[in-house]
Structure 1
Amino acid sequence: MTGRALLDSEAAKLRGAPFTYSEVGLTRAVELPGGYGVVRRSRVAGFGAERFEDAAQTLLSWNMHRRAGLTVRPSDAPVVEGSVAIVRVGASRFGLDAPVRVVYVIDESHRKGFAYGTLPGHPERGEEAFVVELRDNGAVAFTITAFSRPATLLARLGGPVTRVIQSRVTNRYLKAV
């Protein structure tokens, strides 16, 4: 599910929109902000420099999202700081659009990834970071760190169901890389 790229006017509107939370960039912190549901998940995604580069490419090209079954309409591919996207969860008229903006990009020799934050119209408020790392032992670790809480009435009413959906999407991300 590729989705067409955002039009320049759509991207400009999203770039000008405020984040829906105030703790921008805090997925980098050891301690995540209070008052949110927190996700910290990691898995070994293979071994070696070639696997690391492949995982980083999958992540930074938005293909992790696509392989997880989501539709992505990005402003930029590969991901750069300030990129915006509409990530669509679900199909056709029953799907939900989730607008996001990239908060930071990690581009180090042994660590690559990015974090995005929620924009108005996203069913949640918060931030999610996706990082691949080539460890000294050759293992390629993929880590997802997120904090979020419901932003819409529908998400609040979903309660535990919303968290189950988020957990399933996170599992699909982990498998996609």
Structure 2
Amino acid sequence: PSLSTRLNGALALSLSTRTFDNYFELKGMVFLCWDRPSPQEQKACINKTGAFNYDSKFRGATAKPLSYLQDDKELSKDGFLLNHARVLVGSGLETYEKGKSALQTWRHFGLDWAFVDPKTPIQSGVKFCVCLKEFLPWVVMPLEVVYVHETRKANKALASFGFGSGTLQGHLLAGEERFSIELDENNQVWYEILSLSKPAHFLSFIGYPYVKLRQKYFAHQSTNAVVQHSTASQQ
């Protein structure tokens, strides 16, 4: 393993392996910061990263229902695992609108150990970083918004808002994740997280059981953040 360039305080760790009998080179980038990553350091990470690190045939897959993905043999054949959480936030249009606002301002990532720059616009094609505090350094992982979906029934109390983001080269995982908020026919508001992922770096291969536990922990804390924001100041 070799330590490569420092990007405005962010560290880029690359793995390079070569053999002479059957030459190959394996490279993976992990962006690290000792302190909370600044917007400039996040931008440096985005500038350094490349394209999506998962097959284009799975692009936008998380826009589909969970049941469809569970029956998709191609996903499991390609090594993807599903992670899903759906939690009742409350009821009524006001709660839905606050939940939508929470997603639009990245409140679902407003945690002590995980954040996204709240000024990041939720628009297809926008690249951004998820910053996670793991042990001593922060891990800075690049993604791109793949799609944004919003529906509203004019004559019914039905509405939904959600978006999906795909991992870019330099992310520890390969895959996609959707966050959505829905007001259903029973006037109930639901927050949902749906992701498909697999390891994309030797560190995540080694620690994948830990990664899966952290995904579940994030889902729990993210739900609490959305519920808190959605029910604030309600009588």
TM over 0.5: yes
* 1:27-176 equivalence runs, <5 A: 27-30=62-65, 31-32=68-69, 33-34=75-76, 35-67=79-111, 69-73=113-117, 76-77=120-121, 79-90=122-133, 93-109=136-152, 110-176=159-225
Larger radius of gyration: 2
Shift of the alpha carbon at 1:130?
Answer: 0.6
CA 12–155 in structure 1, closer or farther in 2 if over 3 Å, else same: closer
Alignment correspondent of 1:13: 47
The normalised TM-score by structure 2 is 0.66
Shift of the alpha carbon at 1:5?
Answer: 4.1
| Higher relative contact order structure (alpha carbons within 8 Å, sequence separation ≥ 6) | 1
Q: What is the SS of the residue equivalent to 2:146?
A: strand
CA 6–76 in structure 1, closer or farther in 2 if over 3 Å, else same: farther
The normalised TM-score by structure 1 is 0.86
Q: How many residues align?
A: 174
Q: What is the SS of the residue equivalent to 1:73?
A: coil
Report % sequence identity: 26
Shift of the alpha carbon at 1:169?
Answer: 1.1
Q: Which runs of 4+ in 1 moved over 6 A?
A: none
User: Structure 1 unaligned runs (5+)?
Assistant: none
Contact 2:82 2:197 in 1 (8 A): yes
CA 94–9 in structure 1, closer or farther in 2 if over 3 Å, else same: closer
Contact 1:27 1:147 in 2 (8 A): yes
Q: What is the SS of the residue equivalent to 1:165?
A: helix
